[in-house]
Amino acid sequence: MQNACEDGYSIGIDLSDGTAKIMMTSCGISKIDNLRHSYAVSKLSSGSAKEALIIGTNTKDMKSRREITAEFLFFELSAVGFLGLAAMLFKEKQMGVIRVHAILPVGKSAFTLSKLILILFADLFFSAILTLCNLGAAASMAVLPAVLLQAGILSLIMASFGFFCAITLPDFKQFSLLYLVLAVFITTPVFLAGQTGIVMDWIKFHPMYHLFTAMKNAYFQTPTTNVLYYAICLLSIVLLFLLARHGLNSEMKREG
């Protein structure tokens, strides 16, 4: 019985010595453990116990696959869009591409969009491949539309923010420090609140937490349908794009 209860889901009731003893292995989340314990106690009560409602069909392995894929993709997209675009821009600034572009008959919006679209396509391709490799073809087809939508939103937000920071800051050292702040103080609390059960009442005001939750919900086939969420994301993308374009314009003026 002890071996059977080691999966973190099963509950055993030992009646070998005449006294009921509940046996189970913690799943790591106290609220779920308490619910499992309460269900076992209800089975021992004199009244008729209701059967547990099955709310999902994921095995423990598939559940873990979905969770780790959502987490990895979220942090990967947060870093790649931000760092990847910055690396390109700093190199182009050193080569004088921005100075040359200032005299070309190409709009600043087109220059900005060309960078953002490149990062977007790369992120979407990576998201699809990662999902297919981790979940398999059948499970991936069911979640990919929602996953790619969330990946596109996150990619555009981070790439636009990275563009603005890279075009505004004078060198890569300052940008690296900014990225360190982003990684340690912005994305880490999101992971802790979303995965460890640590209670943070203020986390609901953290914009990255809502992006992380939306990504995770997409992998568990419960996509976010909140219109306000999508409206704020769209507004954020537009504002960051305008900031990036303004930063590009200021840099071109500075370059002469």
DSSP conformation letters of 78-123: HHHHHHHHHHHHHHHHHHTHHHHHTTSS--HHHHHHHHHHHHHHHH
The set of residues, in sequence order, having a beta carbon less than 8 Å from that of 236 and lying 6+ positions away, is: 157, 207
Cβ contact 112:245 at 8 Å: yes
Mean pLDDT lowest among 56-70, 135-149, 164-178, 205-219? 164-178
Q: How far apart are the first and last CA of the chain?
A: 77
Q: What Å distances lie between residue 206 and 92, 185, 199, 220, CA to CA?
A: 33, 11, 14, 22
Q: What is the mean pLDDT of the chain?
A: 80
Task: Please report the pLDDT score of residue 227 as a whole number.
Answer: 93
Reported as a single tens digit per residue, the pLDDT across 113-155 is 888 898 899 999 999 999 999 998 988 999 999 999 999 999 9
The answer to whether residues 7 and 60 touch, using CB atoms and an 8 Å cutoff, is yes
Cα separation, 224 vs 207, in Å, equals 15
Q: What is the mean pLDDT of residues 238-247?
A: 89
pLDDT band at 104 (very low <50, low <70, confident <90, very high): low
User: What is the structure's pLDDT at 237?
Assistant: 94
How confident is the model over 182-239, as pLDDT tens digits? 777 777 777 666 666 566 676 777 778 888 889 999 998 888 889 999 999 999 999 9
The better pLDDT of the pair 95, 131 is held by: 131
Angle at 92 between CA 161 and CA 238, to 5 degrees: 25
Greatest mean pLDDT among 30-34, 73-77, 111-115, 146-150: 146-150
pLDDT recorded at residue 124: 94
Q: Report the share of the chain in percent with pLDDT over 90.
A: 21
For the chain, state the CA radius of gyration: 24
Residues in Cβ contact with 100 at an 8 Å cutoff, skipping those fewer than 6 apart:
none
